[in-house]
């Protein structure tokens, strides 16, 4: 038996979309944690020919790789199951087949080893990440921008989340991916479109900024995507310079929408919750890897006298560290789940609030 280190050792498992991920995090008091292993296997190559995630392929790939990643993580951390305090697994929201793979594995391990099981909401993982990876503390406004989500959330404390804005149609990552697919760029489209946009003029084409200046914090990208496709079709054939201008203009329109909605959220929070005095703005999710967005959010935060925080890219995109971390914090607060919990394709973050 390996000697147990101090604090809580948590195994995290994430299989909600197209990354098979396993991590081990050691959690100490006062929101301090140490990453002992972080394994991620991206399925991008498998989904790339289809221009999007194929759920059946994703589930099968999780089945093929999850056990091996768990073994690798245990080896990295030099721990055996005698040393664990919790097994945290993403229980939703996400693709149901993938979630079931992760949960069946986590439940089997928990049953065999008697280590407590904690079902984690994937969004809570993203929401709590900056506490581990950055020198920050509650409360903050979180702009969660990924392939599946586009939300503005007030993160007040563990289990105290209020969604103040969401997309009415596509998630922002989807808006990047769909436009990139239309332009014949690779998958995932966000990073490809960003690369192309580097050489373009962001104000070459006039595209709409849906919902801008509306008195709420919601987003909408479907009309912008349609306008982009219509505009591109109207100028075909598109030469290299024009396609860079198109990509840059589209990216700028998206960023303007995100920052405008963020700005509105600050006003709304000040009005509704003056007691909170929020000073920190956090961006997370895969789209937070976009350098132009980060630059412009940084500038915007400065203007507002607030601090902009974005976790390192590998912790903005899907990973199991955030699941181990969120699960460990819940376990520290006395929570655990029975083996009867189920995977949930849909699971709003506010449903995990602690009263
Ligand atoms: O968080 P994530 O890894 O997975 C989930 O969707 O949950 O986010 C993936 C999304 C994809 O839509 C991808 O195109 C987008 O994040 N993305 C980007 C960039 N890097 C990833 N979008 C814009 N610019 C980027 N640099
Ligand atoms: Zn995610």
Residue 141 shares a structural domain with residue 269: yes
What is the end-to-end Cα distance of the chain in Å, rounded?
39
Do 183 and 286 fall within a single domain? yes
Give 202: exposed, middle or buried? Use CB within 10 Å, 0-12, 13-18, 19+.
middle
Answer whether residue 121 is part of any domain: yes
Q: Which domain holds residue 261?
A: 137-310
Strand partners, 21: 14, 40
pLDDT of residue 237: 84
Q: How many helices (H) and strands (E) does the chain have?
A: 11, 10
In this structure, the answer to whether residues 257 and 226 fall within a common structural domain is yes
Phi-psi region of 334 (alpha: psi -120 to 50; beta: other; left: phi over 0): left
Q: 122: CA distance to ligand 2 center in Å?
A: 7
- For residue 308, the cross-strand partners are 281
pLDDT score at 236: 75
pLDDT value at residue 225: 98
Cα 146 to averaged position of ligand 2 atoms, centre (Å): 6
Q: What is the pLDDT of residue 3?
A: 55
Average pLDDT over the chain reads 95
The response to whether residue 145 sits with its C-beta less than 6 Å from ligand 1 reads no
Q: Give the pLDDT of residue 355.
A: 83
Asked if residue 79 and residue 35 are part of one domain, the reply reads: yes
Residues 346 and 300 in one domain: no
Chain segment 8-62, per-residue pLDDT in tens: 999 999 999 999 999 999 999 999 999 999 999 999 899 988 888 899 999 999 9
The answer to whether 237 and 185 are in contact (CB under 8 A) is no
23 shares its domain with 50:
yes
CA 127 – ligand 2 centroid, Å:
10
* CA distance linking residue 128 with residue 131, whole number of Å: 6
The percent of residues above 90 in pLDDT, for the chain, comes to 93
Residue 2: pLDDT band by 50, 70, 90 thresholds?
low
Residue 90 beta carbon below 6 angstroms from any ligand 1 atom: no
Percent of the chain at pLDDT exceeding 70: 99
Q: Which atom of ligand 1 is nearest to the CA of 291?
A: 26
Residues 283, 147 share a domain: yes
Q: Is the peptide bond before 188 cis (omega within 30 degrees of 0)?
A: yes
> Residue 81 is part of a domain; what is its CATH number?
3.30.420.40
Residue whose Cα lies nearest atom 22 of ligand 1: it is 190
Residue 16 C-alpha to ligand 2 middle, in angstroms? 8
**Do 324 and 299 have their domain in common?**
no
Are 309 and 281 within 8 A, CB to CB? yes
85 lines ligand 1 (CB under 6 A): no
pLDDT at site 343? 98
Evaluate: CB of 289 within 6 angstroms of ligand 1: yes
Residue 182 lies in a domain: yes
51 lines ligand 1 (CB under 6 A): no
Distance 329 CA to ligand 2 centre (A): 19
Residue 2 is assigned to a structural domain of this protein? no
Mean pLDDT, residues 182-206 taken together: 95
Q: What are phi and psi of 215, to 5 degrees?
A: -85, 50
CA-closest residue to ligand 1 atom 8: 286
| Number of independent structural domains in the chain | 2
CB distance 176 to ligand 1 below 6 Å: yes
From CA 59, how far away is CA 101, in angstroms rounded? 7
Residue 338 lies in a domain: yes
Whose atoms come closest to the Cα of 170: which ligand? 1
The protein residue whose alpha carbon is closest to atom 3 in ligand 1 is 317
> Is 184 a domain residue?
yes
146 pocket-lining for ligand 1 (C-beta < 6 Å): yes
pLDDT score recorded for residue 50: 86
pLDDT for position 213: 87
- Beta carbon of 93 within 6 Å of any ligand 1 atom: no
* Torsion over CA: 15, 107, 162, 158 (sign): negative
Ligand 1: distance of its center to the CA of 105 in Å?
A: 27
Pairing between strand 8-14 and 140-145?
unpaired
Question: Is residue 155 domain-shared with residue 273, that is, in the same domain?
Answer: yes
pLDDT of residue 52: 83
Asked whether residue 1 is assigned to any structural domain, the reply reads no
25 Cβ neighbours under 8 A, 6+ residues apart: 9, 10, 12, 33, 34, 35, 36, 132, 321, 324, 325, 328
| Neighbour-count burial for 281-319, b at 16+ CB within 10 Å, e otherwise | bbbbbbbbbbebbbebbeebbeeeebebbbbeeebbbbb
Flag whether pLDDT at 107 surpasses 60.
yes
Nearest Cα to Cα of residue 267 among 294, 304, 221? 304
Residues 224 and 339 in one domain: no
**In the prediction, which pLDDT does 186 show?**
87
| pLDDT recorded at residue 48 | 86
Ramachandran class of 307: left when φ > 0, alpha when ψ lies in -120 to 50, beta otherwise? beta
200 in any annotated domain = yes
Helix, strand or coil, per DSSP, at residue 74: helix
Q: Are residues 14 and 46 in the same domain?
A: yes
For ion ligand 2, residues whose CB falls within 5 Å? 146, 318
Region for 31 from its dihedrals, namely left if φ exceeds 0, alpha if ψ lies in -120 to 50, beta otherwise: left
Choice from 126, 173, 317 to test ligand 1 binding pocket (greatest atom count within 8 A of CB): 173
**pLDDT tens figures, 47-101:** 988 888 899 999 999 999 999 999 999 999 999 999 999 999 999 999 999 999 9
The confidence score (pLDDT) of residue 113 equals: 97
Q: pTM for the complete prediction?
A: 0.94
pLDDT in tens, 225-283: 999 999 999 997 889 999 999 999 999 999 999 999 999 999 999 999 999 999 999 99
Instruction: Indicate whether 97 and 161 sit together in one domain.
Output: no
């Amino acid at each position: 038996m390996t000697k147990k280190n101090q604090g809580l050792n948590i195994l995290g498992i994430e299989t909600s979309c197209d990354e098979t991920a396993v991590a081990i995090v050691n959690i100490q008091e006062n929101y301090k944690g140490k990453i002992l292993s972080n394994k991620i296997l991206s399925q991008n190559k498998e989904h790339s020919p289809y221009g999007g995630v194929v759920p059946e392929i994703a589930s099968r790939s999780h089945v093929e790789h999850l056990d091996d990643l768990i073994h690798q993580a245990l080896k990295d951390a030099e721990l055996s199951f005698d040393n664990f305090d919790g097994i945290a697994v993403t229980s939703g929201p996400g693709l149901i087949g993938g979630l079931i793979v992760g949960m069946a594995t986590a439940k089997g391990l928990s049953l065999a080893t008697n280590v407590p099981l904690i079902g984690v909401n994937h969004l809570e993982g993203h929401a709590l990440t900056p506490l581990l990876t950055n020198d920050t503390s509650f409360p903050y406004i979180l702009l969660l921008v990924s392939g599946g989500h586009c939300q503005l959330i007030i993160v007040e404390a563990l289990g105290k989340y209020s969604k103040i804005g969401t997309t009415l149609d596509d998630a922002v990552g989807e808006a990047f991916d769909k436009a990139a697919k239309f332009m014949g760029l690779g998958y995932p489209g966000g990073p490809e479109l960003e690369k192309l946009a580097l050489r373009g003029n962001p104000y070459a084409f006039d595209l709409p900024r849906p919902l801008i200046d509306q008195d709420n914090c919601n987003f909408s990208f479907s009309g912008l995507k349609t306008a982009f496709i219509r505009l591109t079709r109207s100028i075909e054939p598109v030469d290299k310079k024009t396609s860079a201008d198109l990509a840059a203009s589209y990216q700028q329109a998206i960023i303007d929408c995100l920052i405008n909605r963020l700005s509105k959220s600050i006003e709304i929070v000040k009005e509704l919750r003056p007691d909170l005095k929020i000073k920190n703005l956090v961006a997370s999710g895969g789209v937070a890897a976009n350098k132009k967005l980060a630059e412009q959010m940084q500038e915007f935060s400065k203007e507002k006298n607030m601090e902009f925080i974005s976790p390192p890219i590998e912790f903005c995109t899907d990973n199991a560290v955030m699941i181990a971390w969120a699960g460990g914090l819940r376990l520290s607060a006395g929570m655990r789940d029975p083996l009867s919990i189920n995977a949930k394709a849909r699971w709003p973050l506010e449903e995990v609030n602690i009263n």
